[in-house]
Amino acid sequence: MGILLVYDVTDESSFNNIRNWIRNIEQHASDNVNKILVGNKADMDESKRAVPTAKGQALADEYGIKFFETSAKTNLNVEQVFFSIARDIKQRLADTDSKAEPTTIRINPPEPGPGPVTKPACCGS
């Protein structure tokens, strides 16, 4: 129902693989699966960073998905990512349910046929 695309901000090759992963998702996953792009190791020193925040955000914008930078080590934004995808999935499912056809069945009264119309008797009268 939801996919987190996670790359390492200190490893540009992991970031470059995101496009391949998205192609695989488009080929094999449901069309409406929720996706979030996540740059992990945001706690690392800037001198070790290979993928700037702006580059991650630009890729997320290109695909129309949310973007977060996280740190599993310091717990930066980890909870927010999981809550965000859970909210998005819940909203998508609610939207899908509200667009579903109503389940009410309407039964029309029978067409009057030839002959006299009689009213049903009530309570033996």
Full pLDDT tens readout for the chain, 125 residues: 999 999 999 999 999 999 999 999 999 999 899 999 999 999 999 999 999 999 999 999 999 999 999 999 999 999 999 999 999 999 999 998 887 655 555 666 666 666 665 555 566 55
Domain definitions of the chain by residue range? 2-97
Instruction: Identify the pLDDT of residue 20.
Output: 98
Instruction: Report the pLDDT value the prediction gives residue 46, as an integer from 0 to 100.
Output: 95
Q: Return the pLDDT at 73.
A: 97
Q: What is the pTM of this model?
A: 0.78
Instruction: Give dist(CA 66, CA 57) in Å, integer.
Output: 8
**78 CB burial (10 A radius; 0-12, 13-18, 19+):** middle
| H/E run at residue 42 | none
- Multiple choice CATH, 2-97, 2.60.40.1930, 3.40.50.300, 3.40.50.1110, 3.30.70.20: 3.40.50.300
Q: Is 110 helix (H, G, I), strand (E, B) or coil?
A: coil
- 3-class SS at 4? strand
Q: Tokens standing for 15?
A: 């970031």
Q: Which residues have CB under 8 Å from 81's CB, separation 6+? A: 4, 36, 38, 68, 70
Give pLDDT, residue 90: 96
